[in-house]
């Protein structure tokens, strides 16, 4: 009579002594787990991230967004920083602390850092792009409505004044700050998640 064993990974009953892999989960019964390199990118994300932690991190993000706005607005009011720098510092401050939360509560070991960072960063850009898309849609609707109203008025008027055209000036400093801001977000998000993981390992 064969000795009944159980898979240490999923608990599946193993009745064949010669079998090397679990028929349910593929676990290597000789002592090593199956290589996870064959898993897809999204399968790896789903396995090593917790959606509840990601969602709650945005609560932390919102709390520090308010705290950061209060902190940095004092520098903005006395002229120490400009508006773009104020926005950059406030958002970066919030992303960093939200990343620490994810690293502390979402990373069991070092292999969890990159998937959680990726999910966090993707969530940030998804929220930002969705917000920009909604604002853009709303503004385009208003502009189209106003344009339609003015075009109907101008068609009834015989006199059409000429509007002088001005060549737009390019603010290189503003463009540089925006590019720097976009590049800082993933860097700060990664360091936040990694610092949260280190805090978990050492506290």
Tens place of pLDDT for every residue, the chain, 203 residues? Answer: 445 577 777 777 877 777 777 777 777 777 544 454 556 778 878 888 999 999 999 999 999 999 999 998 889 888 888 888 888 899 999 999 999 999 999 998 888 999 999 999 999 989 888 988 888 888 888 888 888 777 766 665 545 555 555 555 656 777 887 888 888 999 999 999 999 999 998 87
Look at residues 70, 79, 87, 61 and name the one whose alpha carbon lies nearest to residue 177.
Answer: 87
Look at residues 17, 11, 95 and name the one whose alpha carbon lies nearest to residue 58.
Answer: 95
List Cβ neighbours of 67 (8 Å cut-off, separation of 6 or more).
93
Instruction: Note whether 15 and 4 are within 8 A (CB).
Output: yes
pLDDT of residue 1: 41
pLDDT of residue 33: 46
pLDDT of residue 38: 55
Give the residue carrying structure tokens 């609560």. 59
Full-model pTM: 0.67
Q: How many helices and strands (H and E) does the chain possess?
A: 5, 2
């Amino acid at each position: 009579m064969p000795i009944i064993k159980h898979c240490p990974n999923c608990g599946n009953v193993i009745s064949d002594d010669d079998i090397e892999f679990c028929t349910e989960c593929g676990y290597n019964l000789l002592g090593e787990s199956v290589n996870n390199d064959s898993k897809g990118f999204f399968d790896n994300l789903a396995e090593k991230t917790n959606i509840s932690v990601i969602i709650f991190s945005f609560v932390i993000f919102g709390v520090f967004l308010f705290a950061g706005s209060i902190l940095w607005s004092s520098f903005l009011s006395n002229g120490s920083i400009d508006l773009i720098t104020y926005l950059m510092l406030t958002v970066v401050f919030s992303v960093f602390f939200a990343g620490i939360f994810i690293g502390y509560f979402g990373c069991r070991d070092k292999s969890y850092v990159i998937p959680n960072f990726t999910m966090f960063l993707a969530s940030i850009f998804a929220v930002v792009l969705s917000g920009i898309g909604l604002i853009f849609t709303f503004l385009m609707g208003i502009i189209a409505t106003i344009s339609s109203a003015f075009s109907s008025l101008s068609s009834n008027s015989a006199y059409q004044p000429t509007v002088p055209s001005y060549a737009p000036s390019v603010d290189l400093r503003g463009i540089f700050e925006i590019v720097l801001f976009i590049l800082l977000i993933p860097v700060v998000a990664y360091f936040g998640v990694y610092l949260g993981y280190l805090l978990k390992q050492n506290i």
